[in-house]
Amino acid sequence: MTPGVVLTERFTEALRYAVVVHATQVRKGTDVPYIGHLLGVASLVVDAGGNEDHAVAALLHDAAEDHGGERRLADIAARFGPVVARIVEDCSDSLTEDPDEKSEWLARKQQHLDHLGTAGRDALLVAIADKVHNARAIVTDLQTLAGDRAFRRFKGTPEQVLWYYEENLRIALDPRNDLPPALTAPLLTAVEQMRTHIAAVEG
């Protein structure tokens, strides 16, 4: 039996770093501490056979996008190395320091999808784990909230959000990317459930 990845003090340091960076952040539309999402993505990455670089990047994948842009990315590179920094950069759909300077939601997501379509497997392992965790959260909301309330935290319409996850699923299922079923199967399930719930609400 092949031994699993060994997570060293470097992973622990990344966890401490993530806790500080995201200290006051909560999940959109909730009072749930954001660190729960980062731990969830790291867990999915480890379960999918990721190495320590992947696991560290999973903890930090939103740090630059949400807190500091290029300066934060440079700090991550200095602390955790260029491989982690490159994965974080590939997982970010914007690196501007001012949230008001971000481009329109749909354009930003399309640009990010275009980038993921050419990204390496290291980045995709973390990016798709992120989408799995997010898609599952959306499905849970759809099952527990009335109507389209689950989508009110997004700037896109329900149809646009579904499109975004369908496109991520298409990338995940591309055999050239060689992603494990531990990620592709739950994303497929979540997207199918999302599609069913949206159709029911609109029907």
Position 149 pLDDT exceeds 80:
no
Res 85: pLDDT: 98
| 147's tokens | 């109507």
pLDDT, mean of residues 79-86: 98
Domains of the chain, with CATH numbers?
9-202 (1.10.3210.10)
pLDDT, mean of residues 92-117: 85
| 44's tokens | 């999915």
Bridge partners of 184, per DSSP, are none
Full DSSP string of the chain: -PPPPPP-HHHHHHHHHHHHHTTT-B-TTS--BTHHHHHHHHHHHHHTT--HHHHHHHHHTTHHHHTTHHHHHHHHHHHH-HHHHHHHHHH-S---S-GGGSPPHHHHHHHHHHHHTT--HHHHHHHHHHHHHHHHHHHHHHHHSSTTGGGTTSSS-HHHHHHHHHHHHHHHH-GGG---HHHHHHHHHHHHHHHHHHHHHH-
Position 73 pLDDT exceeds 90:
yes
Res 2: pLDDT: 45
Where does the pLDDT of residue 130 fall: very low under 50, low under 70, confident under 90, or very high at 90 and above?
very high
pLDDT, mean of residues 47-67: 96
Our measurement of the distance from residue 178's CA atom to the centroid of its chain's CA atoms, rounded to an integer in Å, reads 18
Between the ranges 4-8, 147-151, 163-167, 199-203, where is the mean pLDDT highest? 163-167
Residue 28 neighbours by CB distance under 10 Å: 12
Average pLDDT value for the chain: 91
Res 151: pLDDT: 67
Res 1: pLDDT: 36
Res 150: pLDDT: 65
Find the distance separating the first CA and the last CA of the chain, reported in whole Å.
50
Res 74: pLDDT: 97
Dist CA 203 CA 198 (whole Å): 8
pLDDT, mean of residues 193-202: 84
Res 31: pLDDT: 86
The share of the chain scoring above pLDDT 70, in percent, equals 90
Res 190: pLDDT: 97
